């Protein structure tokens, strides 16, 4: 992304979230984005995912210019190439853990959706929770379902917003190992927003956001 500007209107006026931000992520590598709350880290992930559009600037993912795609094309691109781990999970309450994880595969018409989803839930330690609904799961278990859903279709770009923020230390370490192992296996690009120094230290590159600006570390 280059020369990105993003602002939001508020009752007291327009607030600049990103100001002339530029970022290059080498394909297949890992990047940690750190910085204080409210510095624009989550907004940056939303821009990289095409869920938010900048006021100004260009976002290029691989050979694809996100600004050239309409909403339908962006949705198709996300379903094929992108995995997102949201801090607030965004699980569908009417679906079981297995249903939430298998849904992206079913929408894309991919084969063996159930078997692949079961294997991914087993990988995050939830083989005993396949038929449980989000309200029957702890916060940490919901986080692991969200991670499994983001990884199940082996995306080329994986974005995580505090992916271990709701997990205890032991489970968090296991999930981190899984994320980085799958990154190496699939040669995906991994971008993580984190306050956790142990997460940032495992990434090949680090940048810090402060007042809407990016600073390389």
Q: Is residue 208's pLDDT more than 80?
A: yes
Given this model, what pLDDT does residue 108 score? 83
Residue 115, pLDDT above cutoff 90: yes
The per-residue pLDDT for 96 is 97
Q: Give residue-wise pLDDT tens across range 36-55.
A: 888 888 899 999 999 999 99
CA gap 113, 95 in Å, rounded: 15
Span 197-203, mean pLDDT? 89
Higher-scoring residue by pLDDT: 65, 87: 65
Average pLDDT, the chain: 90
How many angstroms separate the CA atoms of 75 and 96, rounded?
23
Per-residue confidence (pLDDT) for residue 15, from 0 to 100: 85
Total structural domains within the chain: 1
Q: Using pLDDT thresholds of 50, 70 and 90, give the confidence band for residue 216.
A: confident
Is pLDDT above 80 for 189? yes
State which residues form the domain around 39: 4-216
* Domain CATH code at residue 188: 3.40.50.300
Q: What are phi and psi of 197, to 5 degrees?
A: -65, -35
* CA–CA dist 194, 202 (Å, integer): 11
pLDDT at residue 9, as a whole number: 87
C-alpha span between 153 and 61 (Å, rounded): 18
pLDDT of residue 178: 81
pLDDT in tens, 142-172: 988 998 999 898 899 999 998 887 778 888 8
pLDDT digits (tens, 9 = 90+) for 2-16: 999 999 888 888 888
For the segment 188-209, the average pLDDT, to the nearest whole number, is: 91
Q: How far apart are CA 44 and CA 209, in angstroms?
A: 10
Given this model, what pLDDT does residue 172 score? 82
The distance from CA 30 to its chain's CA centroid, rounded to whole angstroms, is 12
């Amino acid at each position: 992304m280059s020369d990105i500007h993003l602002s939001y209107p508020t009752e007291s006026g327009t607030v600049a979230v990103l100001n002339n931000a530029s970022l290059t992520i080498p394909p297949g590598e890992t990047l940690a984005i750190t910085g204080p709350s409210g510095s624009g880290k989550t907004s940056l992930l939303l821009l990289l995912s095409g869920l938010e559009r900048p006021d100004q600037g260009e976002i290029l993912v691989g050979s694809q210019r996100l600004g050239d795609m309409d909403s339908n094309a962006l949705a198709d691109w996300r379903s094929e190439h992108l995995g997102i781990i949201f801090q607030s999970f965004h699980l569908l309450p009417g679906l079981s853990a297995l249903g939430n994880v298998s849904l992206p595969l079913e929408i894309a018409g991919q084969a063996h959706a159930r078997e692949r989803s079961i294997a991914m839930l087993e990988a995050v330690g939830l083989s005993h929770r396949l038929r449980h609904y989000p309200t029957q799961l702890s916060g940490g278990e919901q986080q692991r379902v969200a991670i499994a859903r983001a990884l199940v279709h082996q995306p080329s770009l994986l974005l995580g917003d505090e992916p271990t923020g709701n997990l205890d230390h032991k489970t968090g370490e296991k999930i981190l190992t899984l994320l980085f192992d799958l990154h190496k296996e699939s040669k995906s690009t991994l971008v993580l927003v984190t306050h956790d120094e142990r997460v940032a230290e495992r990434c090949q590159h680090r940048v810090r956001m402060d007042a809407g600006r990016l600073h390389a570390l």
